[in-house]
Structure 1
Amino acid sequence: MPTPTELNLHQQSRVLEVRYDDGSHFNLPCEYLRVYSPSAEVQGHGPGQRVLQLGKEDVGIDKIEPVGNYAICLHFDDEHNTGIYSWEYLYNLGLNQERLWQEYLDELFKAGQARKKPS
């Protein structure tokens, strides 16, 4: 599994830039990271229990805290900070960003919800 060589948080654009030692480079929007948080609050406690996150268009990250040598904890400005993002989880979010984002948009549509334009 590739390991990150660089993490850059771009506060204004609300994007976490992650570079891996295999040459991979991902720009992960804070909203995307928040709606796919690995926390039990978002993912539930078992298969099929994921909770649809609403109103996260303007969410930002206040702090990034290392968790050992294998992960980070993202402290979002909506006070969510219980997800532990392993290097592998971040890598998979990057690899599958297009598909996962579309799945999120489809879930919103099915729930009769719409994203507002971020400010």
Structure 2
Amino acid sequence: MAWTTDELDRIGAAEELEVSSYRADGTLRPFVTIWVVRSGDDLFVRSAYGPRNGWFRRAEASGRGRVRAGGVDKDVTFEPADAALHDAVDAAYHAKYDRHGPAIVGTVVGPDVTAVTLRLVPSEG
């Protein structure tokens, strides 16, 4: 599956995204609010506080979840982002969130976040 242009526009323009991962029994964990960026025809999220951040650990372990933003509510798979896209994703974070200041944006840009960048891929529920 691919994102529609409308979904990309709406989620990409949303200030925040709610993300949840599925438990082994098929139920959703509580949603967590994080930042999301669009780069090209893809959506990306990053763990602001490294690989130990709870939502990130659960998303990585589960591999699937649900996101809500901009009026879009969609099941997704969480895929490690291609490291070759790192600079473009950094640029998207800077363009969207720099107004929050370097201390905050600094938690989601730079070489330390490559391993905690996930690509959101739409999936069937």
- Report the TM-score range of the alignment, normalised by the length of the smaller protein: 0.3 to 0.5
- Give the TM-score normalised by the residue count of structure 1: 0.33
- Give the TM-score normalised by the residue count of structure 2: 0.32
Between Structure 1 and Structure 2, the one with more helix by share is 2
